[in-house]
Amino acid sequence: DQQVKQNSPSLSVQEGRISILNCDYTNSMFDYFLWYKKYPAEGPTFLISISSIKDKNEDGRFTVFLNKSAKHLSLHIVPSQPGDSAVYFCAASAIQGAQKLVFGQGTRLTINP
Amino acid sequence: DTGVSQDPRHKITKRGQNVTFRCDPISEHNRLYWYRQTLGQGPEFLTYFQNEAQLEKSRLLSDRFSAERPKGSFSTLEIQRTEQGDSAMYLCASSFSLRVTGYTFGSGTRLTVV
């Protein structure tokens, strides 16, 4: 079963506009959520995270929103830049125990000049 | 520290051969994880170590897979009698326990079984 889902395999956005990437999860035991960015031939790189006790976390151009009742989170990038073109993975974890990450399938973001 | 290092970056092997990958984590990290990523999917958890102890293994890790972390430093992942379905990117990550955001991934080893 896919506990973390990213239903959009790809997204194309104009440079300078807002990019919104979405993620849904099913397991209520998850209490920590992360976004990773991945370039080809590199490992995933941590971008931003949010604890389940918050509904918003902001870091520069990146903001993550968490809607626990809907089991939904989103990543907003504004303004989008060409260097943001990459595959973005949503991941979920439980802070206790192994802290293993459960990843979504990824969304390929392309920023057009 | 240069981050998490994985070797080799690429491996092509014939079906039925054994392969071994190495991961060198960030030195102060006590946790080490192995993940596998296939095309079009996100990384999937395989196993993790806290220091030298292997504390959890996914059901994805069949009997042909074995991982070790002697002395709590580097780790090896061995696949015996490789099958074409083993073709994937194998990712290693390390972290310091109690800090989920401290995960650092290596660049991975891409395995192709022909």
pLDDT exceeds 90 at position A41:
no
Touching A: B residues 21-40, CB under 8 Å: 31, 33, 35, 40
Residue A22: pLDDT band by 50, 70, 90 thresholds? very high
Mean pLDDT (whole number) for A4-19: 97
Handedness of CA A38, A39, A43, A48 (dihedral sign): negative
**What is the per-residue pLDDT for B99?**
63
Q: Which tokens sit at B69?
A: 């972390």
B17 touches chain A (CB under 8 A): no
Query: Identity (one letter) of the amino acid at B114?
Result: V
Q: Which residues of B touch A91 (CB under 8 A)?
A: 42
Contact A91, B91 (CB under 8 A): no
B101 touches chain A (CB under 8 A): yes
**What is the per-residue pLDDT for A54?**
95
CB atoms within 10 A of CB A38: 22
Three-state secondary structure of chain A = CCCEECCCCEEEEECCCCEEEEEEECCCCCCEEEEEEECCCCCCEEEEEEECCCCEEEECCEEEEEECCCCEEEEEECCCCHHHCEEEEEEEECCCCCCCCEECCCEEEEEEC
Q: What distance in Å separates the CA atoms of residue B104 and residue B30, rounded to the nearest whole number? A: 12
Mean pLDDT (whole number) for A18-23: 98
**What is the per-residue pLDDT for B72?**
84
pLDDT exceeds 80 at position B100:
no
CB atoms within 10 A of CB A3: 14
Q: Torsion angle, CA of A92/A50/A78/A5, rounded to 10 degrees?
A: 20
pLDDT exceeds 90 at position B16:
yes
Residue B100 distance to chain A (closest CA, Å) = 6
Residue A48 distance to chain B (closest CA, Å) = 8
pLDDT exceeds 60 at position B1:
no
B48 touches chain A (CB under 8 A): yes
**What is the per-residue pLDDT for A98?**
75
Report pLDDT digits (tens) over A45-103.
Answer: 999 999 999 999 999 999 999 999 999 999 999 999 999 999 999 999 987 777 889 99
Report pLDDT digits (tens) over B50-92.
Answer: 999 999 999 888 899 999 998 889 999 999 999 999 999 999 9
Residue A108: pLDDT band by 50, 70, 90 thresholds? very high
Q: Which residues of A touch B104 (CB under 8 A)?
A: 46
Mean pLDDT (whole number) for B23-51: 94
A62 touches chain B (CB under 8 A): no
- From A44, A104, A106, residue closest to B105, measured CB to CB: A44
Q: Where are the beta strands (DSSP E) in B1-114?
A: 5-7, 10-13, 19-24, 31-37, 44-50, 53-57, 65-68, 75-79, 88-95, 104-105, 109-113
More confident residue, A78 or B101: A78
Q: Which residues of B touch A89 (CB under 8 A)?
A: 42-43
Nearest CA in chain A to B106: A43
Mean pLDDT (whole number) for B20-24: 98
A42 touches chain B (CB under 8 A): yes
